[in-house]
């Protein structure tokens, strides 16, 4: 079984074997997929925070209040 660094190195080598135009297309596809994944993660976070808010688990206060709460 390959370790993660050699798998990563193989991926780099495979990309480098592509033509420059294919590398550019691959980069654009990867950027779009990463942006989509970030949006999905953000949507999940927002849903979680909304649920916590609805359940009364969210507290409001100043930075001093927050720091005070950390000390307890």
Residues 6+ apart with CB under 8 A from 49: 58
Contact between 70 and 61 (Cβ < 8 Å): no
Tokens at residue 38, please? 């970030």
Q: Is 67's pLDDT higher than 80?
A: yes
Stated pTM of the model: 0.65
Domain boundaries, the chain: 4-71
Instruction: Give the Å distances, CA to CA, from 1 to 7, 23, 45.
Output: 10, 27, 35
Q: What is the pLDDT of residues 1-56, one digit of tens each?
A: 557 789 999 999 999 999 999 999 999 999 999 999 999 999 999 999 999 999 99
């Amino acid at each position: 079984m390959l370790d993660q660094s050699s798998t990563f190195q193989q991926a780099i080598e495979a990309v480098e074997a592509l033509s420059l135009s294919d590398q550019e297309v691959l980069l654009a596809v990867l950027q779009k997929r990463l942006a989509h994944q970030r949006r999905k993660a953000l949507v999940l976070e927002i849903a979680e925070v909304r649920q916590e808010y609805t359940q009364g688990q969210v507290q409001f206060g100043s930075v001093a209040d927050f720091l005070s709460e950390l000390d307890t």
